[in-house]
Amino acid sequence: MSDIAVHVEGLSKQYHIGKRQERHDTLRDTLTDAFIAPFRRAGKLLRGQATGAAELDETIWALKDVSFEVKRGEAVGIIGRNGAGKSTLLKILSRITEPTGGYADVYGRVGSLLEVGTGFHHELTGRENIYLNGAILGMTRVEIERKFDEIVAFSEVEKFMDTPVKHYSSGMYLRLAFAVAAHLEPEILLVDEVLAVGDAAFQKKCLGKMGNVAQEGRTVLFVSHNMGAITQLCEWALWLDNGQLKLTGPSSDVVAAYLSSGTEGCAVWSSSSTEPRNIEAQLKSARILSVDNQPTAVVDFDSPFKVEIAYDVIDPVRDLSVTYQLLDSQGNLVFEAMDTDMPEWKGRVREPGQYLAVCKVPARLLKPGRYYVSLASFIEYIKIIERQEGVLAFDVSEVGYLLNPGRLGVVSPVLEWEVNQVDTTDRVASNETKNQAENTGPSASPLSEKTR
């Protein structure tokens, strides 16, 4: 028997995306189109050209001519930016959607974990949901019964097994959901970004569990934005870019190449409209700048960076405020900053003209990971003029990140501490502290413990 688990050859997937909305200049155009379109669509439906409610002309290749081979027992990381085709690849391999071209040979029972808690029902109890979710993920009833106690123990919500999950906190819900998923025992496991949920401690537990999975000789394909997890769990990785295979190799090499590629992320944005659409002010462009004023999509943890926003003021306006919001990869709002934070612009009338606002963000503040910047301009307490969601994307790399990776919180600032020994104690007490220090050592990074 061959030792190949997955063989992918020329795999492609084309998606139909809606044609860009055409501008209807008159009500008559809008009405005519609204009247004719349903008939066109009905005709297409009857001919079996099912393509979706939107117009069907534009297509994109979510995956184009991807070939690779995974051996039995290997753990492979799949990386790439959003929309690079990572999830599409997993969806095809788990047979949720069909490829448009090429083929994949899969040897072994496939379990896919594209989301935790799929099929959970809020009205059902924890116990009932374990059975339901297990069945949906492909476990047999016998298998679920056999692992039931283990699942419950892993989830840490024993006490609430007979409570409907709608009364669970979101953390409990996710723990239960992951507990079921973590006990899947297929020969090939496909995992998509599911670890992006839950608190850090539980995330670690899950990573440890996944490490076990790989050690048990099962094949794992793992999509993640968590580069640390990829390098720790996977022997090799493949990097997808715009649906195409950009690089494969040992995971640390691929991750390094991926992180250092300047094309990753989007360091520069400029407004697509040439004419101002707003009366008061118009956002023109924005950039992420490194310390030496170069646009960059990767910022080191231990170096500061700048957010630069250019805008035009069209009409004299008082209390105009241009702001940006920084969101993390899960969409959490990390902070919001306004160019009126500086007292000299507070409440002042802005004369028409071009403005350039630069905000310095200190080093050692943002946790390593992906961040997005949304822009907005508004007149304080009066109205929002313009919003531009998620126009910039950048990564804070782990370079210089010496902190405990399990540190909780949205940000991980390195703050100034003043630590002095203020008194001497006897030897016993100092021994105790020494022991404690030793105990916290390994538990602070159980990952390396479990996976190595």
Residues in the site for another protein, rule: CB under 8 A? 1, 15, 38, 41-42, 45, 48, 50-53, 91-110, 112, 114-115, 118-119, 121, 123-124, 128, 131-132, 135-138, 140-141, 143, 146, 185, 187, 212, 215-217
Cα 345 off chain centre by? 36
**232 or 377: whose CB is closer to another protein?**
232
**DSSP-based three-state secondary structure for 373:** strand
Q: From residue 181, how far is each of 43, 93, 172, 189 by CA, in Å?
A: 43, 18, 14, 10
To another protein, the closest distance from the beta carbon of 151 in angstroms equals 15
Question: Cβ(339)–Cβ(286) under 8 Å?
Answer: no
**48 or 409: whose CB is closer to another protein?**
48
R_g of the chain, CA atoms, integer Å: 26
Q: Calculate the CA dihedral of residues 21, 24, 29, 31 and round it to 10 degrees.
A: 70
**189 or 307: whose CB is closer to another protein?**
189
Question: Cβ(44)–Cβ(56) under 8 Å?
Answer: yes
The DSSP bridge partners found for residue 220 are 75, 189
**93 or 221: whose CB is closer to another protein?**
93
**15 or 61: whose CB is closer to another protein?**
15
User: What's the token pair of residue 53?
Assistant: 């409610």
To another protein, the closest distance from the beta carbon of 48 in angstroms equals 7
Question: Cβ(324)–Cβ(423) under 8 Å?
Answer: no
**45 or 429: whose CB is closer to another protein?**
45
**181 or 267: whose CB is closer to another protein?**
181
What is the length of the chain?
452
To another protein, the closest distance from the beta carbon of 40 in angstroms equals 12
Cα 310 from Cα 287, distance rounded (Å): 9
To another protein, the closest distance from the beta carbon of 219 in angstroms equals 12
Only one residue has tokens 């709608």, namely 166
User: What's the token pair of residue 373?
Assistant: 């910047």
**124 or 379: whose CB is closer to another protein?**
124
**150 or 432: whose CB is closer to another protein?**
150
To another protein, the closest distance from the beta carbon of 187 in angstroms equals 7
**36 or 402: whose CB is closer to another protein?**
36
Cα 249 from Cα 247, distance rounded (Å): 7
User: Which of 7, 102, 10, 15 has the alpha carbon at shortest distance from 65?
Assistant: 10
To another protein, the closest distance from the beta carbon of 393 in angstroms equals 24
To another protein, the closest distance from the beta carbon of 50 in angstroms equals 5
Q: From residue 6, how far is each of 10, 72, 106, 219, 320 by CA, in Å?
A: 13, 8, 5, 9, 57
Question: Cβ(316)–Cβ(352) under 8 Å?
Answer: yes
To another protein, the closest distance from the beta carbon of 143 in angstroms equals 7
Only one residue has tokens 């039931």, namely 148
> Which runs of consecutive H residues, i.e. helices, occur in 370-426?
none
To another protein, the closest distance from the beta carbon of 146 in angstroms equals 7
Q: Terminus-to-terminus CA distance in the chain, angstroms?
A: 29
To another protein, the closest distance from the beta carbon of 215 in angstroms equals 5
